A and B are shown apart, each in its own frame.
Chain A
Amino acid sequence: MSKILVITSGKGGVGKTTTTANIGVGLAMRGNKVALIDTDTGLRNLDLLLGLENRILYDLVDVTSGRVAYKKALVRHKKYENLYLLPTSQVKDKSAVNPEQLVTLCDEMKKEFDFIIIDCPAGIEQGFKTAIAAADTAIVVTMPEISAVRDADKIIGELGRADKENVKLIVNRIRPQMVEKGDMLDMGDIDEILSVVCIGQVPDDENVVVATNRGEPVITMSNSTAGQAYKNIVARLCGENVPFLKPQKEGFFARLKKLFGLL
Chain B
Amino acid sequence: MSDIVTIKGLKYGLQLTFAKGASFDDVQANLLDKLQSGNGFFMRGTTVFVPKGYFAEEQNEALRRMFHRHGMLFSTELKRPNLAPPSRDNSSKASAQKFKESVEEAQKMMVINRTVRGGQEVKANCSVLICGNVNPGAQVIAGGSIDIRGTCRGFVHAGAFGDKTACVVADRLMPAQIRIADLIARAPDEDIKTNQAERAMIKDNMIIFEPVAR
Contact = CB atoms under 8 A, between A and B. Distances in A.
Contacts of B136: 150, 153, 193
Contacts of B133: 193, 195
B114 A150 contact: no
Interface residues of B, number: 12
B135 interface: yes
A213 B114 CA distance: 43
Contacts of A158: 119
Contact of B115 (A151, A154, A195): A195
Contact of B137 (A153, A156, A192, A195): A153
A154 B117 CA distance: 6
A153 B132 CA distance: 14
Contacts of A192: 151
Contact of B118 (A154, A160, A195): A154
A31 interface: no
B151 A157 contact: no
A160 B113 CA distance: 13
B118 A150 contact: yes
B179 interface: no
B153 A157 contact: no
Interface string B113-151: 011011110000000000001011100000000000001
Interface string A152-168: 01101110100000000
Interface string B35-71: 0000000000000000000000000000000000000
A151 B119 CA distance: 9
Contacts of A195: 115, 133
Interface residues of A, number: 11
A150 to B, nearest CB: 5
Interface string A175-209: 00000000000000000110100000000000000
Interface in B136-171: 136-137, 151, 153
A193 B114 contact: no
Q: Which one of B117, B137, B153 has the greatest number of beta carbons of chain A within 10 Å?
A: B117
A150 B137 CA distance: 8
Interface string B97-124: 0000000000000000011011110000
A192 B152 CA distance: 11
Nearest to B137: A150
A249 B151 CA distance: 32
A156 B136 CA distance: 13
A193 B137 contact: no
B114 A153 contact: no
A158 B120 CA distance: 9
Given A154-B119, A193-B153, A160 B135 contact: no
Contacts of A160: 114, 117
